[in-house]
Chain A
Amino acid sequence: MIPEIGHFALILAAMLAIAQSGVPLWGAQRGDSRLMGVAAPLAMAGFVAIAISFAALMWAYAVNDTTVVNVVANSHSAKPMLFKLTGTWGNHEGSMILWVMVLAGCSAAVAGFGRDLPSALQARVLGVLGLISLGFLAFILMTSNPFDRVWPPPPDGQGLNPLLQDIGLAIHPPLLYLGYVGYAVTFAFAVAALIEGRVDAAWGRWVRPWSLAAWSFLTMGISIGSWWAYYELGWGGYWFWDPVENASLLPWLAGTALLHSAIVVEKREALKVWTVLLALLAFALSLLGTFLVRSGVLNSVHSFASDPARGIFILCLLGIYVAGAFALFAWRAPSMAPAGVFSPISREGGIVLNNLLLCSITAVVFVGTLYPLFLDLLTGQMISVGAPFFNSATAPLALPLVMGMAVGPMLAWKRAALWPVLQRLWWAACMAMLAFILTLTLAGWHVLSALGFACAFWLICGAATDIADRSGVGRTSLGNAWNRARNLPRAAWGAAIAHAGMGVTILGVAGMGLATEKLVAVPPGGSTQFAGYEWRLEGVRDFMGPNFTARKATITVLRDGQVVHVMEPSKRYFPIGGMTTTEAAIRTSPARDLYAVLGEERPNEAGVAEAVLRLHDNPLAPWIWIGAGIMSLGAGLSLTDRRIRIAAPARRRKETEAEATA
């Protein structure tokens, strides 16, 4: 019964989406406020319908309803309840329902919070969102319906890949989708602006918070994915430049460029056409990622098992949305009002440089990811484009970007003097140089890590300088400066915190560049020296989990004879599915991660049973993800800035409209 309700709710949502796409767009063309007014209630209703559908699916998982094909394929009664629930989106069909639900949620938010928007703009935005929703609902209903039933029901499900029974992997998709789908809103705004033929400061005032929110979630999503790949073996470490990882990075890079150029549109009404293009590009790249992961053209362990027929459907959707939007852009962009002027050395100029470098990096990652596919298609040659290529190709672009990140926020709008800003940053440069030299002397000839530390300190000190400069440190008393700092607009703090967060992440990455490892076989009771600690293997014993059996090793870590840690790496065997996973034991501290992995157990020449252990010392590793968290927080802080939430120009226009129609 409940799966049928879910299925019906999806069909209802599709009907509502048809209305939501057609009526408001037509109404906006005609200027008919009744037709335009239909958009908001339709968006809210659509969200309710899809939420009901999602709840129905989750219910089927919670009670392990084996009459539902999707539950049979992906779940099992022995799974812990948390993973039964999160397994709802751990497969292709369920994750698509999550995707459309987030989209409907964003539409409802635009409907609910957007009452200050000019009605034509809101109607068009909701219309475009309805159109996107319709396409994906059609995709689900026609090719990927999670509510298909099977009769008679099998006794139990076929279990889920044990790699997916993990909290890190459980929260990674929802956060990612909040990001990907958040960019659908900025896309809709861009399309609406192109249809209207106008981009103004009010538009910028709306696009900026949405791009900040989407960016914040996408940063968290990617970062949790990276952390999960780090502690789960077999997935290439925290970043492998795997094609699917790159598919998530592409919208992030475009989105970063977008959130910076949206600032220029809002404050200076410049870079309008470019910002519209970026908004189209960010969502286009996110759709491209959806296509690549689900169509089967990519060679990656991350991909969903999917068939090419679905790929063709998604490709058609991409054709409509992406090619359609770009065609609209080519037609309407040239007629947009020309931009405000600024000197190359200015805040706007800094943002243009930021965009240039970010988009070049985006182009490199885009080409690098797709090149093997196209080369194989055209010539049959198979090449690999892996981490060494991406690291070498993006580093020369990333370095000037990092250098500019500390300088840019301190430049004045329209026309700025560069030298005084550089002078204020002298101490940040000194700290960077110091970090570089110290790393080379203390840690050995690791030039890349030394460079990384220099960049990290440059960014963190640069962000501090930015805040200090805005507060008037050096120009007025410390007390006054402190007061000014407290009263700085939240967006200023948000930007500084986000830039510092990037520095923190780079700190972690540079630290990981100094990581060491040791591979050793020890008998129970035996010990080995590594990273300044003594590691003693107490023993390996059997262990039973809810749906697995395991061999668990207990390792005591001692420093100067004192026990400091106990670590328990294990190997798990899942009888349903017959898979084995290796669980690393990680001890996290601010300075480093100690990482231990249990290998095979076998007797040595003397016949004594030994366990092979792989031990890692990862300096500063946790800061990689803490830095990403700081970046998201900075973006979130900017979102709470009063100036963003009060869309004053929009309100004035609404009053004028009211006067005009009165």
Chain B
Amino acid sequence: MSELRSADGFGRYGDEFYERLVGAHQGLSERQSGVLNARLILLLANQIGDRTILAQALAAARASVSPAPEAVRE
């Protein structure tokens, strides 16, 4: 059964990736940044393409923000 990775998957390139991620937003308005993030998430989610992992990632991301809405709970 697949499980969301919590260990480092970046290897030596974590700092480089982070710089590129933030750099991709350079010069954008907040609304444009929101659009960029939405597209990026969809691209990466499709790359992952694993139903279980994506559900775990959504739950983990939501957990520290606020409780999940009832309708989304399974």
Q: Do A and B form a real pair?
A: no
A contact set with B: CB distance below 8 Å:
none
